[in-house]
Amino acid sequence: MKPIPALLPLSWIYGSVMQLRNLFFDMKFIKTERVNIPVISIGNITAGGTGKTPFVEMTARLLQENGKKVAVISRGYGRTSKGLQIVSDGEKILCDAAAGGDEAVLLAEKLPQAVVIVDEIRFRGATTAAEKFHADVILLDDGFQHRKLYRNLDIVLNDSQHSAFATPMLPAGFRREPIRGLKRADAVVWTKLNEKDISQDELQKVSGKKIFSSSFEPVALEGVFIEKIIPLEQLKRKPVFGFCGTAQPENFKKTLQDLEMLVMKFRSFPDHHLYTKEDALSLFDDWKSMSSGIVLTTEKDAVKFRKFETEFYRVPLFTVKMNVRIHQPEEWKKMILEAVKQ
């Protein structure tokens, strides 16, 4: 997202409001609320695109491997429902992406033993997870600005390719609050950063914090309507058609190009787009016009697209499975596990 200079006056107003809000929290004029189990927040100070969902998944798996019952709490951005919604009770998924939000349903699919709840009032969702589902730890998805709920560990992600340091506040840019808000963070993670390209000057822009770097690595292609895995190397120099509805669609297109696929067509939709039948038919026509090749989308988009299996009959639709890799794995593990000690 490029800055829009004409909107800078609105950004100054927005930034002042956010500063005042943070001051009220800092001075205890607005109270935080606690639940009786540890809370880890994974958020950012920019609007979308830093990769929070795979980080939540990775952190949840680490906690589960160490015997913790995990509950993920989020607002459920882009959903059509309101209030508290149980997406997964830790045994089965109870709603679709329209009602629960694409990211929450994706996490429920990837973490079948985790409780997943969406609620605008995060304290209510966290209390439900602790008291009704007996969770051991809460993972607060996109929670950095939601200061009403106390957290034991505050992690902030910063996209190295679209850094919060290089953009104005909303709406002229995509930063949610002033940079000084990073003082609240316990740890800052630079994402989408190749280990060999790490700049220590960049990493140390936030002094006095635990600093991590990470990268997202595509591992395979997975069928959306069929159970099939395709190794990435099989699509080198092969024609593909990509589409997505994410905050930064150019990142997904670049991923396909970096894998040496021939991106013959590419379509982008708004972030958290709820696909319609008309969208599915239009994408089907695009694929037909190619005469060959497979269709690729993100895992987040796939959870909203499965209902169109009839419209996409015989279309080879696949997702690109991505793993997140922390470049300081032992330090990360130690930080997470220390945060949930009781």
Q: What is the CATH number of the domain that holds 332?
A: 3.40.50.300
Report cis status (omega within 30 of 0) of the bond before 3.
no
Residues in the chain, overall count: 342
172, 276: one domain = no
Return the pLDDT at 218.
Answer: 92
Does any domain span residue 198? Answer: yes
Does any domain span residue 69? Answer: yes
What total of structural domains would you count in the chain?
A: 2
Does any domain span residue 304? Answer: yes
The CATH number of whichever domain residue 306 belongs to comes to 3.40.50
Domain that holds residue 115: 30-215+325-339
What is the C-alpha to C-alpha distance for residues 257 and 169, in angstroms, rounded to an integer? 31
Does any domain span residue 256? Answer: yes
Return the pLDDT at 57.
Answer: 96
CB 48 within 8 A of CB 77: no
Return the pLDDT at 33.
Answer: 97
The tokens 């990073």 sit on which residue?
182
129, 186: one domain = yes
The number of helices, as runs of H, and strands, as runs of E, in the chain is 10, 13
70, 209: one domain = yes
> 60 or 161: which carries more pLDDT confidence?
60
What is the C-alpha to C-alpha distance for residues 92 and 89, in angstroms, rounded to an integer? 6
34, 96: one domain = yes
199, 58: one domain = yes
What is the C-alpha to C-alpha distance for residues 11 and 112, in angstroms, rounded to an integer? 41
173, 60: one domain = yes
CB 290 within 8 A of CB 237: no
**Residue 290 pLDDT greater than 90, yes or no:** no
What is the C-alpha to C-alpha distance for residues 312 and 308, in angstroms, rounded to an integer? 6
Return the pLDDT at 122.
Answer: 96
43, 175: one domain = yes
Does any domain span residue 16? Answer: no
Does any domain span residue 37? Answer: yes
pTM of the model: 0.91
264, 167: one domain = no
Does any domain span residue 4? Answer: no
pLDDT digits (tens, 9 = 90+) for 33-71: 999 999 999 999 988 777 889 999 999 999 999 999 999
What is the C-alpha to C-alpha distance for residues 54 and 34, in angstroms, rounded to an integer? 26
Q: How confident is the model at residue 297 (pLDDT cuts 50, 70, 90)?
A: very high
Q: How confident is the model at residue 1 (pLDDT cuts 50, 70, 90)?
A: low
Mean pLDDT of 245-266: 93
202, 253: one domain = no
198 backbone φψ class: left, alpha, beta (φ>0; ψ -120 to 50): beta
**Alpha carbon of 217 to those of 183, 205, 323: distances in Å?**
30, 25, 5
For residue 66, the one-letter residue type is: N
73, 157: one domain = yes
CB 115 within 8 A of CB 72: yes
CA atoms within 13 A on the CB side of 262: 8
CA dihedral for 220, 190, 142, 333, sign (positive or negative): positive
Mean pLDDT of 328-337: 96
230, 199: one domain = no
Return the pLDDT at 48.
Answer: 74
Does any domain span residue 17? Answer: no
116, 234: one domain = no
